[in-house]
């Protein structure tokens, strides 16, 4: 019933729904961000993060991919720097990031 639902929300027993791909088991030079690991990878105050929000069907995104991967490989050993990408069509992007 509604009363029980509201009580679970107030008690923090319900998790908000996020459209998210599964968290990758392994990561390469370009870190794959999904909604479920966004805060962990992107909002880490100890790191500088360059993130590409992309759509798999986008021609501009496809043409950027080899250069983006090359950049990530060259900077992979840089401490405190993360090169990442997120499929914005398959994952909810936090509203503080204006992605359209």
- CA distances 26 to 9, 22, 32, 85, Å, are 33, 11, 9, 14
Name beta bridge partners: 52.
Answer: 85
Is the whole-model pTM more than 0.95?
A: no
Which helix or strand (DSSP H or E) is residue 51 part of?
strand 48-54
Rounded-to-integer distance, Cα 4 and Cα 32, Å: 37
Question: Would you state the pLDDT for residue 15?
Answer: 81
Q: How large is the greatest C-alpha to C-alpha distance in the chain, in angstroms?
A: 55
For the chain, what's the residue count? 100
Q: What is the pLDDT along the chain (100 residues), one digit of tens a residue?
A: 899 999 998 998 988 788 999 999 999 999 999 999 999 999 999 999 999 999 999 999 999 999 999 999 999 999 999 999 999 999 998 888 888 7
């Amino acid at each position: 019933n509604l009363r029980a639902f509201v009580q679970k929300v107030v008690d923090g027993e319900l998790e908000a729904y996020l459209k998210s791909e599964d968290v990758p088991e392994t990561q390469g030079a370009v870190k794959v961000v999904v909604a479920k690991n966004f805060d962990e990878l992107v909002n880490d105050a100890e790191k500088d993060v360059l993130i590409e929000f992309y759509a798999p069907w986008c021609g501009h995104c496809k043409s950027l991919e080899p250069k983006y991967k090359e950049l990530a490989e060259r900077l992979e050993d840089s401490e405190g720097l993360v090169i990442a990408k997120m499929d914005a069509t398959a994952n909810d992007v936090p509203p503080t990031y204006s992605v359209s």
